[in-house]
Structure 1
Amino acid sequence: MLRIKKEVVKQIKEQGEKGYPYEICGFLIGDIDYANNVRTVLEAYQVENRNKERANDRFEIDPKDYLKVEDYAGKKSLMIVGIYHTHPDHPDRPSQTDLRFAQPDMSYIILSVKEGKADRWRSWELDGNEFKEEKVELI
């Protein structure tokens, strides 16, 4: 399950609209209750999409950005709990590319941005070799 601050969702939507027609991406920062499989998101940290050739339908995160955000979160006694990205003019469900790079114990928010306006979003988690939609609670 994902618990996420309403302000963080608003921020991700604003970033998605500003970045349209390209995919934007970033990290979800917070903490994890492993015993109950609950990730709580307190912050979103946008990073640059390194995939310039296919930025309209692919994203890539620089490993240096991952380390930078991990350090940032650690200084706040938090951790990376997931990744978010947009699907410009496409549904808010994972692609095969998303599945290929997914890791367990993480949440994956996908925001559909249609004609420059934030539309639906959902959060997904890895269940074996496939994604399943996860329950979301706004806090």
Structure 2
Amino acid sequence: MALKLRAEHLQLMQAHAEQAYPDECCGLLLGTLVSDDKTLVDVRTVTNAWNEQVASEFAAAESALTKTRRYWISSEDMLAAMREARQRDLDVIGIYHSHPDHPAVPSECDRRQAWQHYSYLILSVRAGQAGEFYSWQLDDSHQFQSEPVIVIEPVSP
């Protein structure tokens, strides 16, 4: 599968990642599934809801981590996006988030929390500047595999 998106989608996610730095940002990807392609129609930025209560539900090693290393999408934000997608005849096709001062590669926590068939677009942000980005999808063994990203319009500098 490939994830198709427009340059403005990428720019919106990059701006969100830079604004949230040094914390992780997160959001939802609404779009269509046709054959072997996912086409992004809309990006829904959400607030990173990671907090002490969420952290306490994870292993002790996770509970010490903050928004600089973890993200969480609230059930309210997820349900609102699903409702909106349904009303617009779209699907939630994925999630994006940033990795401040780390590569755009999924962490073990990302893998444990991931849902199959979703695209997981990760943006690296170093010293406040968005850089590399990659999309990932779980395979049948629950391991992340790289997913091609096709930018329909070139990103202007």
TM-score w.r.t. length of structure 2: 0.84
Q: How does 1:36-75 map to 2 (within 5 A)?
A: 36-52=35-51, 54-75=66-87
- Provide the C-alpha distance between the structure 2 equivalents of 1:91 and 1:103, rounded to a whole number of angstroms: 21
Q: Which residue does 1:11 correspond to in 2?
A: 12
- Offset from partner CA, 1:57-92 (integer Å, 9 cap, x none): 000111111100111122211110000000000000
Residue-by-residue CA offset, 1:21-63 (whole Å, 9 max, x unaligned):
0000000111112xx3311111110111111351000001111
User: Following the alignment from structure 2 to structure 1, what is the Cα–Cα distance between the partners of residues 94 and 4?
Assistant: 12
Report matched runs for 1:1-139 at 5 Å. 1-33=2-34, 36-52=35-51, 54-128=66-140, 129-139=142-152
Residues paired across the two proteins, number: 137
Offset at 1:138? 1.1
| Higher fraction of strand | 1
Runs of 4+ in 1 over 2 A off after TM superposition: none
Query: Which structure 2 residue ranges, 5 or more long, are not aligned?
Result: 53-65, 153-157
* Structure 1 vs Structure 2 CA RMSD: 1.0
Identity %: 36
Gaps of 5+ in 1: none
Give the Cα–Cα distance (whole angstroms) in 2 for the partners of residues 106 and 119 of structure 1: 22
